[in-house]
Amino acid sequence: MLAMISHYECREHDAGPLHPETAARLDAINNQLIMSGMDYVVQHHDAPLVTRAQLERVHVGDYLDRVYALAPGQDMKSVEIDGDTVMSPGTLRAAERAAGAGVHGVDLIMEGRANPVFCAIRPPGHHAESDKAMGFCLFNNIAVAAAHALDAHGLERVAIIDFDVHHGNGTEEIFKNDKRVLFCSSFQHPFYPFTGHEKETDNLVDVPLSAGAGGAEYREAVMEHWLPHLNDFKPQFVFISAGFDAHVADDMSSLQLVDSDYEWITDELKKVANTHAEGRVLSMLEGGYEPAALARSVVKHLSTLLG
């Protein structure tokens, strides 16, 4: 059974009136689920609050202390963490729910109560490093989830696949020396955050794509670089940082992916999970800022995961 984890408090994060990362993204996904009829085959779960101990698996204590100290209370002004990462009065709780969603999703899957799981959360997480917030991200949600699978459930190998248009620098920084984690990221290059240039090691596989690249180039790169590493690694759990901002309709980037490309990559990752990971897949929302394209792509992604 496909489970979807979210929480109304994820809508309370307010990055500002001109910021592209808004609560309307979650509304668009929910509306498309209803319109497609998929809402009737989805278990809905509320995201719990992440614990300090769960965050400390991937973030240093001093950084967490700073985040909690900076968080504005109700009726206070928003605080700018960096040039594009803002904490409003509702941000800390939203971020705690976003990270908690991944932990809960791992537990659901490992306990046999649901599979696959999609976390419809915000703020996103993949740019957050162990000691730094950046790129709209406060806590690294996918890293918290993967670390929970390793440390709380005793898995030995997990894979994180990031198809957001921006390199998942935070996830890479956190796990770069952890051989239990294979991290695969595709992204437009050169582009924010200007990291991850053609790195390919036993546990890091970066696939930079030039502006204007479309589905053909993307699929070729995945088949040449990601899939051999994934099949050699034999992950016991597949995590997906699901960013949909490489879509041709999304003006955040200059890549040219379409709905069917997200369907294709989801199917390839599902095959990997079925072959090596007993079908275990947890996907977490990252980017995607054109509401209609985001919503359609997410439903393609979920319907393919569900099969």
> Looking at the annotation, which residues are catalytic?
127
107: CB partners within 8 A, 6+ apart: 113, 148, 152
The full 3-state SS of 39-103, as one line of letters, equals HHHEEEEECCCCCHHHHCCCCCHHHHHHHHHHCCCCCCCCEEEECCEEECCCHHHHHHHHHHHHH
What are the phi and psi torsion angles at 204 (to 5°)? Answer: -130, 120
11: CB partners within 8 A, 6+ apart: 23, 26, 94, 122
**Beta strand pairing call for 42-46 and 281-285:** unpaired
- Give the residue from 176, 282, 275, 178 showing the smallest Cα distance to 235: 275
DSSP state of 234: -
Burial category of 84 from C-beta neighbours within 10 Å (exposed 0-12, middle 13-18, buried 19 and up): middle
Cβ pair 186, 207 in contact under 8 A: yes
Q: Locate 5 and state its tokens.
A: 């984890």
Q: Locate 125 and state its tokens.
A: 């997480």
Question: Distance between CA atoms of 219 and 204, rounded to whole angstroms?
Answer: 18
- Considering only CA atoms, give the Rg of the chain: 17
